[in-house]
């Protein structure tokens, strides 16, 4: 049995999940890996807080330097959250030749490359499986199954809070505000839900996936982000009536013009598996040259699913350091293409109109940012007497969001346009 | 760049896919792994056969001993199929200290443990990702993400041919015979489809998954197997009308009484993602203690998806042998429980009756193998005037198949009973 000594920074949901799994599955881990994980100390902000029974015999401290200066510690688990303080901690840990496992998506999305290079320079590992889609081993899958495969498209339900809200609107007929309240009561949404409902959380995860799948580092400003705050229950109902589910999709799509990056509400036909992903679950759809279309589904958050991803990383690092194996770079793939502004965007859109079917006529003019672009419209399957119909649109810029400035002459009461995810 | 020399036995669909990916993705593989794969020779049965252009510069031979005696060859890829000859080849290769990658499910299901022990004894690797669900890296996922997690249930659509047939029956209204004919025309079914349509192929894959997830070796005789040959189009239509899809499910379910093992047509509610897996696609649902419910979806077969899984194995072995890493055992998990005959089986069943709604009355008696067991019936949500209703049944033995001997008194015209997969 080889002993691996770890220090944990943070004992919130994820940190306590890590401790719980290491304790409850100690025998299984030992049997399968030959490793014994010892939690040397957990650093916490508030030592007086009441903690669960399985945390009782964990030694607590409040000073991170206790971990950094302890030469016996092999791996530091950063599950405290935040960006600046966590970055500082991880930089110090890597510089002190300690391996690091983190669940911090904001940090990895923004500074992953920089931190990975620091880890490589110090010949230690930096892993972050739990940072994207908590319970889905999507980074490990991209690292192994796609090594000889070229990814074309990543499309995912990457935020459990918004998917829970959309599911409640769809299944219970709740308004956005009512569904948000339900999410808060269930602990799925924070008191300030901005990060989730406005799409920023999904955008961070999309950036990490884009790096892993395409080798491209993308700043959040390169992602066209629309959240669900303005989503009307009538749109959800209209989508359902037409056989579609409205989902907040993170999309990274390699086109001839460049990489199309968006987080936006999109409709998905109900006969697509990803349309059936409910509540707090996440899903990542991957299209690639060899495998074709694959879908990976699991919980997006939660103590045990996310804790399990951290523990899988700990086991990987533990096996590496006890067998002198190689250190992983931040992303296996190195980009052979650069992101470019997308100058054209052909996609099928579903158009939600008001109840008056005669408001839709087949002489449609569409303006984007003031310029009439209707001469670029190709209309497919258009039925002027249906409140729900579809248009194939070639727009001059990427316009994934349903609220982009559009006027349709003789169609002034169109409420929203959603791109269709062709899964 | 490190050079890895391989020999391939068989240049059928999978073998030619392996060659194609190694050639087409040579630069990507080199960039991501630092490995260069050299195909030393391919052993084939018929050297006169016309072959695709990307196979033209592969050196061909007909004598397997040429590979076994070539000391420069690191890995032998067995993609010839069959059991006896492939077993003989792999035993010789392992004894000659060559690593082996195979896609042979029949072989691994029956002799995997024995061959893995031989590989361990010779300190070489044996990998077989492509043997289950061609394009889904399910074995690698079970090996990594579930190392500290306890699996409860595996339920999968494991055979693309039968899923294609069921999809055609469902969507096109074809009879079983018509759909089988369509599958043959598309190359999805062999001229003798027994192995697929009678469930044996799915049962082999289920045995391998059961070994990986639970550490249990199960012979095919321990699996309750029912195929789709007798499935009536009316059943498919009735299931659809009631909101269900009929799927051929391979189930390995850990219960208090033991491991429940079955391959049988089951109904899945349309709001479950696995119900939406169409045509030749495969899916594996995994329920576990930490992660909860996860679903992995991808193509079940095909030149490039299956070839990609073989190449991922080749890369793993290549990285291991060039870095003196560890060799993987056959299955990481070691069983802590033994399979037992299941003495009780509580599940929700969906009951398909004839068109006459009055044929269903609420005084139901069910016999299994001649013995009346209706006193063990619990009826839930029963509507005597619906042609489709559901019963919760506790049966004395595992009765997953729709054609088990049953008479229902005052309900003589019940046509089929399907277990419901609660995904």
How does pLDDT run across B211-251, given as a tens digit for each residue? Answer: 999 888 888 888 889 899 988 888 788 778 777 888 999 99
Range with lowest mean pLDDT among A212-226, B135-149, B197-211: A212-226
pLDDT at A58: 95
Over residues B173-186, the pLDDT tens digits come to: 999 999 999 999 99
Q: Both tokens of residue A345?
A: 């965007």
Partners of A144 on chain B (C-beta within 8 Å) are: 137, 140, 144, 312, 316
Q: Both tokens of residue A158?
A: 């990457």
Over residues A381-390, the pLDDT tens digits come to: 444 444 344 4
Nearest CA in chain A to B301: A291
Q: Both tokens of residue B160?
A: 């693309």
Backbone angles phi, psi at A244, to 5 degrees: -120, 155
Q: Is A156 on the interface with B (CB under 8 A)?
A: no
Over residues A120-154, the pLDDT tens digits come to: 999 999 999 999 999 999 999 999 999 999 999 99
**Positive or negative, the Cα torsion across A389, A343, A148, B319?**
negative
pLDDT at A324: 55
Closest CB from A21, A326, A333 relative to B32: A333
pLDDT band with cut points at 50, 70 and 90 for residue A68: very high
| Alpha-carbon distance B37 to nearest alpha carbon in chain A (angstroms) | 12
Top pLDDT among B319 and A101 is at A101
pLDDT band with cut points at 50, 70 and 90 for residue A376: very low
Closest CB from B22, B148, B281 relative to A315: B148
pTM of the predicted model as reported, rounded to 2 decimal places:
0.85
CB contact under 8 Å between A148 and B305, yes or no, is no
What ipTM does this complex have?
0.83
| Portion 253-292 of B in contact with A at CB < 8 A | 270-278, 281, 283, 289-292
Average pLDDT of the segment spanning A358-369: 41
Partners of A304 on chain B (C-beta within 8 Å) are: 289-292
Can B415 be counted among the known catalytic residues? no
CB contact under 8 Å between A147 and B32, yes or no, is yes
Q: Which of B290, B306, B307, B313 to mutate: most A Cβ within 10 Å?
A: B290
CB contact under 8 Å between A271 and B278, yes or no, is yes
pLDDT band with cut points at 50, 70 and 90 for residue B201: very high
CB contact under 8 Å between B273 and A276, yes or no, is yes
Q: With H, G, I as helix, E, B as strand and everything else as coil, classify residue B195.
A: helix
Is B414's pLDDT higher than 50?
Answer: no
CB contact under 8 Å between B333 and A32, yes or no, is yes
Nearest CA in chain B to A330: B32
Average pLDDT, chain B: 81
What share of chain A in percent tops pLDDT 70?
A: 76
Average pLDDT of the segment spanning B371-386: 45
Q: Is B305 on the interface with A (CB under 8 A)?
A: yes
CB contact under 8 Å between B298 and A294, yes or no, is yes
The CA distances from residue B325 to A122, A250, A269, A298, B124, in Å, are: 21, 37, 46, 31, 11
Average pLDDT of the segment spanning B85-111: 96
| Alpha-carbon distance A391 to nearest alpha carbon in chain B (angstroms) | 25
pLDDT at A332: 52
Average pLDDT of the segment spanning A407-414: 35
Question: Catalytic pick from A105, A205, A287, A333?
Answer: A205
Direct distance between the N- and C-terminal alpha carbons of chain A, in angstroms, rounded to an integer = 46
Closest CB from B135, B147, B292 relative to A32: B147
Q: Which of B272, B291, B332, B423 to mutate: most A Cβ within 10 Å?
A: B291
pLDDT band with cut points at 50, 70 and 90 for residue A346: very low
Over residues A293-308, the pLDDT tens digits come to: 999 999 999 999 999 9
Average pLDDT of the segment spanning B277-304: 96
Q: Is A339 on the interface with B (CB under 8 A)?
A: no
Is B415's pLDDT higher than 80?
Answer: no
Average pLDDT of the segment spanning A252-272: 84
- HEC states along chain A? CEEEEEEEECCCHHHHHHHHHHHHCHHHHHHHHCEEEEEEEEECCCCCCCCCHHHCCCCEECCCHHHHCCCCCCEEEECCCCCHHHHHHHHHHHHCCCEEEECCHHHHHHHHHHHHHHHHHCCCCEECHHHCCCCCCHHHHHHHCCCCCCEEEEEEECCHHHHHHHHHHHHHCCCHHHHHHHHHHCCCCCCCCHHHHCCHHHHHHHHHHHHHHHCCCCCHHHCEECCCCCCCHHHHHHHHHCCEEEEEEEEEEEECCEEEEEEEEEEEECCCHHHHCCCCEEEEEEEECCCEEEEEEEECCCHHHHHHHHHHHHHHHHHHHHCCCCCCCCCCCCCCCCCCCCCCEEEEEEEECCCCHHHCCCCCEEEECCEECHHHEECCCCCCCCCEEEEEEEECCCCCCCCCCCCEECCCCCCEEEEECCC
Beta strands B60-61 and B35-43 are parallel
Question: Catalytic pick from B41, B87, B98, B205?
Answer: B205
pLDDT at B193: 95
Rounded Cα distance between A212 and A205, Å, is 11
Whether the CB-CB separation of A318 and A311 falls below 8 Å is answered with no
The C-alpha angle A197, A172, B422, rounded to 5 degrees, equals 100
CB contact under 8 Å between B25 and A150, yes or no, is yes
CB under 8 Å to B56, separation ≥6 — which residues?
none
Whether the CB-CB separation of A390 and A377 falls below 8 Å is answered with no
What share of chain B in percent tops pLDDT 90?
A: 57
Rounded Cα distance between A271 and B361, Å, is 34
CB under 8 Å to B175, separation ≥6 — which residues?
B169, B233
């Amino acid at each position: 049995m080889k002993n691996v000594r770890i220090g944990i920074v943070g004992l919130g949901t994820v940190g306590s999940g890590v401790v719980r799994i290491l304790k409850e599955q100690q025998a299984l881990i030992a049997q399968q890996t030959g490793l014994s994980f010892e939690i040397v100390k957990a650093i916490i902000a508030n030592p007086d807080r009441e903690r669960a029974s399985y945390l009782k015999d964990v030694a607590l401290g409040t000073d991170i330097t206790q971990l950094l200066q302890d030469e016996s510690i092999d791996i530091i688990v950063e599950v405290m959250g935040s960006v600046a303080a966590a970055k500082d901690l991880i930089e110090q840990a890597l510089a002190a030749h300690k391996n690091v496992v983190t669940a911090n998506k904001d940090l990895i999305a923004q500074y992953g490359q920089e931190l990975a290079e620091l880890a490589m320079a110090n010949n230690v590992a930096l892993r972050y499986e739990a940072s994207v889609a908590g319970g889905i081993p999507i980074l490990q899958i991209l690292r192994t199954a796609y090594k000889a495969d070229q990814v074309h498209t990543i499309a995912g339900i990457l935020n459990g809070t918004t998917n829970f809200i959309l599911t409640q609107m769809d299944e219970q007929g709740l308004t956005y505000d009512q569904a948000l309240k339900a999410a808060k009561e269930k602990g799925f949404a924070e008191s300030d839900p901005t990060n989730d409902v406005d799409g920023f959380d999904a955008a961070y995860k999309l950036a990490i996936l884009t790096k892993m799948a395409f080798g491209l580092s993308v700043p959040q400003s390169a992602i066209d982000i629309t959240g669900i705050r303005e989503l009307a229950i009538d749109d959800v109902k209209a989508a359902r009536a037409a056989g579609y589910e409205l989902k907040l999709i993170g999309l990274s799509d390699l086109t001839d013009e460049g990489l199309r990056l968006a987080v936006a509400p999109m409709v998905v036909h109900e006969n697509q598996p990803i349309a059936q992903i409910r509540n707090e679950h996440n899903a990542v759809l991957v299209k690639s040259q060899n495998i074709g279309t694959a879908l990976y589904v699991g919980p997006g958050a939660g103590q045990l699913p996310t804790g399990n991803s951290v523990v899988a990383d700990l086991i990987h690092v533990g096996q590496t350091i006890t067998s002198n194996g190689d250190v992983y770079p931040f992303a296996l793939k190195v980009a052979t293409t650069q992101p470019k502004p997308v100058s054209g965007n052909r996609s099928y859109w579903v158009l939600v109109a008001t109840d008056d079917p005669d408001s839709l006529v087949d002489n449609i003019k569409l303006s984007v940012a003031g310029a009439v672009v209707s001469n670029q419209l190709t209309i497919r399957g258009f039925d002027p007497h249906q409140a729900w119909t579809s248009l194939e649109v070639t727009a001059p810029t990427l316009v994934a969001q349903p609220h982009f400035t559009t006027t349709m002459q003789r169609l002034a009461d169109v409420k929203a346009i959603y791109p269709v995810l062709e899964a």
